[in-house]
Amino acid sequence: MTAKSNALPWLLLSALVIVLDQLSKWWALSSLQPAGVPHPVIPGLLNWTLAFNRGAAFSFLAGSDGWQRWLFVALAVVICAAMAVWLARTPRRDWRTALPLALIIGGALGNVIDRLHAAQVTDFIHVYFRQWNYPVFNLADSAISVGAVLLIAFGLFAGRQDGPVR
């Protein structure tokens, strides 16, 4: 495989995820003040609710003294670098590997920007139904989650062919 045929161009999708994530967070910060006040979008299902998370997923370590900021930044950078190497070793046509990796990289770096800029991640999407509430999240979190699910799903079905078994 030559350098020109690797999947690194998929990083353009990562860049798009970062731009959309940062624009959506800018909108949330400028439009959804004060924090914690729900703005119904689909009553009974979806609100825009500005929230901030100093921790990781589901506010893991959010109550710590601030060291977690640098841990999560370093962890995201190392994981993104490893995934970029994976992309460099992946054929460009292998979209089942490249798409999920690009989504995860874009989402992770979108949240890294928040951590570096404000020491917290801006969240604003609140999905709920009756008494059930999912933690407030953002577009970067969605990209990471979709990418992870696709990576697992495509990995589970790797090598399976449509057509007769030989």
List, for residues 40-95, the tens digit of each pLDDT value.
999 999 999 999 987 666 555 555 566 677 888 999 999 999 999 999 999 999 99
Which residues does 72 contact at the CB level (< 8 Å), separation at least 6?
A: 55, 56, 111, 112, 115
Is 32 within the bounds of a domain?
Answer: yes
Q: Say whether pTM exceeds 0.85.
A: yes
Q: Is 123 among the residues known to form the active site? A: yes
Q: Which listed residue (21, 65, 94, 123) is catalytic?
A: 123
Per the structure, the complete domain to which residue 114 belongs is given by 19-156
Is 124 within the bounds of a domain?
Answer: yes
Is 7 within the bounds of a domain?
Answer: no
Cβ neighbourhood burial of 156 (10 Å; 0-12, 13-18, 19+): exposed
Number of structural domains in the chain: 1
Q: Is 162 among the residues known to form the active site? A: no
Is 6 within the bounds of a domain?
Answer: no
List, for residues 2-54, the tens digit of each pLDDT value.
557 999 999 999 999 999 999 999 999 999 988 899 999 999 999 999 999 87
Q: Which listed residue (94, 114, 141, 162) is catalytic?
A: 141
